[in-house]
Amino acid sequence: MSHLLATITAHRSGQPIGLYSVCSANPFVLQAAMEVARAYDTPLLIESTSNQVDQFGGYTGMTPPQFRDYVQALAAEAHFPLDRIALGGDHLGPNAWQHLPASEAMGHARVLIEAYVAAGFEKIHLDCSMACADDARPLSDATVAARSADLALVAEATATRLGLTPPVYVIGTEVPVPGGEASLGGGVSVTAPAAAAATLAVHEQAFSAQGLDAAWLRVIAMVVQPGVDFDHSQVQQYQPAAAAALSAFVQAQPRLVFEAHSTDYQTEASLHALVRDHYAILKVGPAVTFALREAWFALSAIERELLPAEHQADLPGVLERCMLEQPKHWAKHYAGSPDEQRLLRRFAFSDRCRYYWGEPEVQAALQRLIANLKASGIPLPLLSQHLPQQFEAVLAGELVAEPAALARHKVGLELTRYARACARNRHAA
């Protein structure tokens, strides 16, 4: 908790620092995140979404305490200090149960919040912005705020009952679609300052109505739309001038910063500008698993050069077959002809193949790829051809030409841009 509050307090006192939030359960991503946090001496905020981790296991198969234990085991293996890690819950609310009546969906959401807080998650994003089966659409800000306060009441009661430090909260009604827009079309619009002010006021009223005045003082951030997003093949970069009025609004609010979702694929200059303009919490998810997929595909291309077909792991082929056999994670998102869908499954910025890395057949192919390349070795000319940045690091003696290390390094380069945008010591490592 001290890392989160200390960073936000320092930012509000004028220091150009922030927090980057790694939204992934992939072990290679989290290992890379620990390496980057160590190099840049930053806190490591790791968040799981309500889709990834819930009281029923989510798509990762993990409950909140299992996810906590999983992260802590990775940290122990990496000799990364646990007191540098903060766990957060993202989009916590009725998101996974929108098909149910509101009373039933919110019942599940209360259990979800209780499970996250009891497991020691320190940062809770209260997201009740989605309509349930019997709701009028769109939801009013008052309804969203009342439901968020309802869940905050559960969180506070859980912390009190278990003798835990109560969490900090993130609120907001203009919440971007998790994982990027289906299509940017004409682009996303920046939240109007008047809308942000209304959201803040209605949430404060809802918290007060539940007797949550002390909890309101721990609302550290609000999710707004700064005009950044991505879809399958496009990225909308941050334009500071378009968000200047919104930045001026939050500057006038005590203790508060903005949390920017869908910052994936922003340039490093844009990330620095976002932190400067008080988007002091930057969320990243698909971009890091996209980088990881690029690494595995590059290593698979090296494997094809070195081994006969019958000895290859053929990871891209196995992944494609798995996605075709289990289309639930991509079929509603990837439109177009069969050829267009094939390209999206493999290469889309939205990176929906990230849902499949834990499947047993994909895991088996990945382990075979790693074993094959360990046995054969990776010739430097092929490394230069397919992973040129990693080739440079190997030549400099900074990296070993080992498959998992190469993959983590590629993910680490993506996360390094966030660390430099957020860290006091931006030129470390």
Q: What φ, ψ does residue 123 adopt, rounded to 5°?
A: -130, 125
Contact at 8 Å (CB) between 45 and 35?
no
Rg of the chain over CA atoms, in angstroms? 22
Model confidence at 174, pLDDT cuts 50, 70, 90, reads: confident
* Predicted confidence (pLDDT) at residue 182 exceeds the cutoff of 60: no
pLDDT of residue 205: 98
* Predicted confidence (pLDDT) at residue 377 exceeds the cutoff of 90: yes
pLDDT of residue 429: 52
Helix (H) or strand (E) holding 159: helix 141-162
DSSP character at residue 233: S
Residue where a domain terminates, one of 266, 285, 304: 285
Q: Is residue 424, in this structure, part of any structural domain at all?
A: no
* Predicted confidence (pLDDT) at residue 40 exceeds the cutoff of 60: yes
What does the DSSP assignment read for 284-300? E-HHHHHHHHHHHHHHH
Model confidence at 3, pLDDT cuts 50, 70, 90, reads: confident
pLDDT tens, 313-331? 999 999 999 999 999 999 9
Residues 115, 40 within the same domain: yes
* Closest among 9, 51, 43, 37 to 254, alpha carbons compared: 9
DSSP character at residue 253: S
CATH of the domain at 55: 3.20.20.70
Residues 279, 304 within the same domain: no
CATH of the domain at 363: 1.10.400.20
Residue numbers of the domain that contains 414: 289-418
Residues 38, 122 within the same domain: yes
- Express as a percent the part of the chain with pLDDT over 90: 94
Work out how many domains the chain is built from and give that number.
Answer: 2
Residues 266, 331 within the same domain: no
What does the DSSP assignment read for 60-78? TTB-HHHHHHHHHHHHHHH
Residue where a domain terminates, one of 260, 285, 310: 285
> Which residue is it, tokens 């834990």?
358
From residue 345, alpha-carbon distances to 182, 264, 322, 326 in Å are 14, 18, 11, 12
Contact at 8 Å (CB) between 148 and 124?
no
Residues 298, 225 within the same domain: no
DSSP 3-state assignment of 314? coil
Residues 230, 329 within the same domain: no
Q: Is residue 42, in this structure, part of any structural domain at all?
A: yes
Residues 309, 380 within the same domain: yes
> Which residue is it, tokens 């075979």?
368
Q: Is residue 340, in this structure, part of any structural domain at all?
A: yes
DSSP 3-state assignment of 86? strand
- The full length of the chain comes to 429
pLDDT of residue 426: 56
Residues 231, 104 within the same domain: yes
Q: Is residue 426, in this structure, part of any structural domain at all?
A: no
b/e 260-292 (16+ beta carbons within 10 angstroms → b): bbbbbbbeeebbbbbbebbbbbbbbbbbbbbbb
